[in-house]
Amino acid sequence: MSESIVTRFVRPLSRDYLLRSLTNAIICDMSDAKLPRFKPPVENYPWRIVLFRWFLLALEAGIAFYFVFTFSVNLGLIYVAYGVVYLFLLLPLIRCVRCYYYGKRCNFGWGTWVAQVFPRDDTNPHGAYYGYTILFWPLRIFPTLRGLGGLLMSLPDQMSFIPQGLFAVYLLVIFIHRRFYMRQSCVRCHQRVGCPVYNSGIVGWNAEKQKIA
């Protein structure tokens, strides 16, 4: 009997393959060795960029919630509550109130509504409090540990789409999201030169020394 299409053309799930995916996602998310070239900056980002970022975020958050919720329902509820607090309170205070796009439609769409709720901070550079984005890490660390734990504790013949394949999708979504906003958003941003998201070498008060291109 000839091999099925799935057998021939779909890469089998393997522990080594998923571990490489995790490594590539981490390297991509932390390395700025090959920054894309600048493009003319925009005042308000097109909705197609904003909506696609929202789609990727929703996809990542949904998979992350699955991993946390299947571990503990109560922890899953806490995870969702913390995500909402970070997205609607901590993120605006850490970044948005000092951003060029305060009051404008940024690539995430947050600038307009943040200006209606939070006062602008004109006394500090954009990256002054970027170190506090460490508060975002638990939202990715716990799902990653859950997925990685399930991968390492399973035997090769126990591999399946859920959870091992879903973990690979989770890493892929993070990878795509990172590449997308670096190449479609950051290169058009007025804040790009002094922004730690675009250049991780700029953190805290070092951002004050940077000039906006």
Q: Please check whether residue 22 is in contact with residue 175, taking contact to mean a CB–CB distance below 8 angstroms.
A: no
Model pLDDT for residues 164-199, shown as the tens digit of each residue: 788 889 999 999 998 998 888 888 888 877 777 766
Q: What is the mean pLDDT of the segment spanning 203-212?
A: 44
Average pLDDT over residues 110-117: 94
Over residues 109-130, mean pLDDT: 90
Q: Of all residues in the chain, what percent are helix, strand and coil, respectively (each to 5)?
A: 65, 0, 35
Q: DSSP secondary-structure letter at 153?
A: T
Residue 1 confidence class, pLDDT cut points 50, 70, 90: very low
pLDDT digits (tens, 9 = 90+) for 68-97: 998 889 999 999 999 999 999 999 999 899
Question: What's the rounded mean pLDDT across residues 95-101?
Answer: 91
Work out the mean pLDDT of the chain and round it to a whole number. 77
71 exposed, middle or buried (CB, 10 Å; 0-12, 13-18, 19+)?
middle
Separation of alpha carbons 169 and 147, rounded Å: 11
